[in-house]
A and B are shown apart, each in its own frame.
Chain A
Amino acid sequence: MSGISVQGLWKAYPSAEDRDEVLVALEDVSLEVGEREFVCVLGPSGCGKSTLLRIAAGLEKPSLGTVETQSRPSVVFQEHGVFPWLTVAENVAYPLRLRRVPRAARRERVAELLELVGLTEFAGYYPSQISGGMRQRTSVARALADDGNVLLMDEPFGALDEQTRVALQQELLRIWEQTEKSVLFITHSVDEALTLADRVVVMSHRPGRIIAEVEIPFGRPRDIIELRRDPRYGEITYQLWNLLEGDTAAAEAVAQ
């Protein structure tokens, strides 16, 4: 079985203007994320890619179609997803606490995870006392606390500065290579998509449809900086931008 399987998914919302109309956010989306595969969904803002993730996470229901995941997915949210009333260690322990994992086992697991994301020294800090990058590390560690093998990430590094983002991307790859997780990663950044993914799924403007799937040929493990020197990096960047631009042009033509 694949990690995540999306079949013929549609999602519509009631229109704010006309009671009889609906607003289609996702249009017939089908995609598979294989076991231990890293798939990025790339699309312009408002294309419904976050909706896709929320449905996969079970936070929203599909209007039509099905989404299956191999296990209950763990989610890394956009910024501000860590609880301000819990310390770094308590945030990471949150899923374990919900499942009533005994205190000793919990403490041990949290220590491992903090070590993994390099936050051991900041275990007792509150989110308001640490940087945005550290908050997202906390978020990643919390998502890893569960042993499920499906990981959903919703533009987790979107709000970070460039250098912190690259550092966290590199760390994410290192961590992911140590685990056995299938990842669905939502992003609006071409660079981020092709840096991280085995396969990039490109989505169109609203209503969100899949307009292309691009295999990323780089091997593993990857060095994010070295990747920039690979001639194929420029080629794929160009290809992805063309897909997005072509869609933008089409959307504008429709609007006119």
Chain B
Amino acid sequence: MSTDTQTSDTQASAARAGLGPAVTAADREEIRARLASAVQAERGSPWNRRIGPYTPLLLLVAWEALSRLGVLDARFFPAPTAIVETFVNLLVSGQLVTDILMTLSRIAVGFVLGAIPGVLLGLLLGSVRSVRLLLEPVFSSLLPIPKVAIYPLLLLIFGLGETSKYVIVAIGVFFYLFFNTMSGVMQTPPLFDDVARANGASRIQRRLTVSLPYALPSIFTGIKLATGGAFVIIAASEFVGAQSGLGYLIWSSWSTFAVSKMYVGIVTISALGYGATALEGYLERRLVPWVKY
């Protein structure tokens, strides 16, 4: 709508400028400038575009100032520079690296353990109606149980070691992948299945060459959701059942009132989650090139 107005505006001014019989170079120049500004207006103000990426930095600057001036209680909101100092100390001592590696390895192992059965069962239930009717209620009734709520049980079964962490992440990831794969498979247009059958594809070949690729975009949505879920689950599990990892770092800082350490843990988790999502976005563009973004 605004584009139309811009265009007619330009035309009107072109008419006023006496365009038509004698178009001077100056007129053309003016029109070009108007067009350029119209295009620019559509893209958003240059000021916003330039500032946008740095607003988090502005927030940090404001935080720093308010914390130093004593407006913010530095016990709860230590100045960002203080947090950076703690960050560097933790990094140099090697503790932060150890915690990051522990958390990441728990997520990675748990992710694989949960995602593979999630996708396979999603394919099966999505494509075989009788199995879906039989088993979907089971998974639907397990879905709403908060995964963290069964952690004490897992601790009893698997003990305080790594296995209990792998299992709880796997359980959380499983549900995301299972439901997203299943719904992706169920939306496969029958024509594609006909094409595969007409070409003599076996049942398994049909699942692998039609249902799986058709569901891939939806599977990636599941992977991204599962990544967020996995960080929540692992942080909560490390609060209570671990002596290492970023969740443990945050929790132990609470008990010793080391607030800036707590922030280091929080920011590190945020950065890891961001990195994981970026990696998944890259994989998605490589593996699902037929979908236009």
A98 to B200, CA, bound (A): 8
Q: Does B156 contact A (CB under 8 A)?
A: no
Chain B residues with Cβ under 8 A from A146's Cβ?
199
CB distance from A170 to the nearest CB of B (A): 25
Identify A75's interface contact among B195, B214, B216, B290, CB under 8 A.
B195
Given A80-B191, A83-B210, A98-B209, the answer on whether A57 and B289 have CB atoms closer than 8 Å is no
CB distance from A54 to the nearest CB of B (A): 8
Q: Name the interface size band of chain B.
A: 20 to 34
B contact face: mostly helix, strand, loop, or mixed? helix
Q: Name the interface size band of chain A.
A: 20 to 34
Identify A84's interface contact among B197, B198, B199, B290, CB under 8 A.
B290
Contacting residues of chain B (185-234) with chain A, CB-CB under 8 angstroms? 189, 191-192, 194-201, 205, 209-210, 213-214, 216
Q: Does B129 contact A (CB under 8 A)?
A: no
Contact with B along A14-41 (1 / 0, CB 8 A): 0000000000000000000000000000
Chain B residues with Cβ under 8 A from A128's Cβ?
290, 292
Q: Are A59 and B199 in contact (CB under 8 A)?
A: no
A contact face: mostly helix, strand, loop, or mixed? loop
Q: Are B195 and A77 in contact (CB under 8 A)?
A: yes
Chain A residues with Cβ under 8 A from B199's Cβ?
74-75, 94-95, 98, 142, 146
Chain A residues with Cβ under 8 A from B290's Cβ?
84-86, 126-128
Identify B198's interface contact among A75, A78, A83, A85, CB under 8 A.
A75
Contact with A along B19-51 (1 / 0, CB 8 A): 000000000000000000000000000000000
Identify A58's interface contact among B198, B210, B216, B289, CB under 8 A.
B198
Q: Are B194 and A59 in contact (CB under 8 A)?
A: yes
Q: Are B195 and A85 in contact (CB under 8 A)?
A: no
A57 to B198, CA, bound (A): 6
Q: Are B205 and A59 in contact (CB under 8 A)?
A: no
A8 to B195, CA, bound (A): 26
Identify A83's interface contact among B195, B289, B292, CB under 8 A.
B195
Identify B213's interface contact among A73, A85, A97, A142, CB under 8 A.
A85
Which of B196, B198, B214 has the most chain A CB atoms inside 10 A of its CB?
B198
| Chain A residues within CB distance 8 Å of chain B | 54, 57-59, 72-75, 77-78, 80-81, 83-86, 94-95, 97-99, 126-128, 142, 146
Q: Name 19 A/B residue pairs within 8 A (Cβ), A-sorted.
A: A59-B194, A59-B197, A59-B198, A73-B198, A75-B198, A77-B194, A77-B198, A80-B189, A81-B191, A81-B194, A84-B290, A85-B213, A86-B213, A95-B200, A98-B200, A98-B201, A98-B205, A127-B290, A146-B199
19 further contact pairs, Cβ within 8 A, besides A81-B194, A85-B213: A54-B194, A59-B197, A72-B200, A73-B198, A75-B194, A75-B198, A77-B195, A77-B198, A78-B191, A80-B189, A80-B191, A83-B195, A85-B288, A86-B213, A95-B200, A98-B200, A98-B201, A98-B205, A128-B290
| Chain B residues within CB distance 8 Å of chain A | 189, 191-192, 194-201, 205, 209-210, 213-214, 216, 288-290, 292
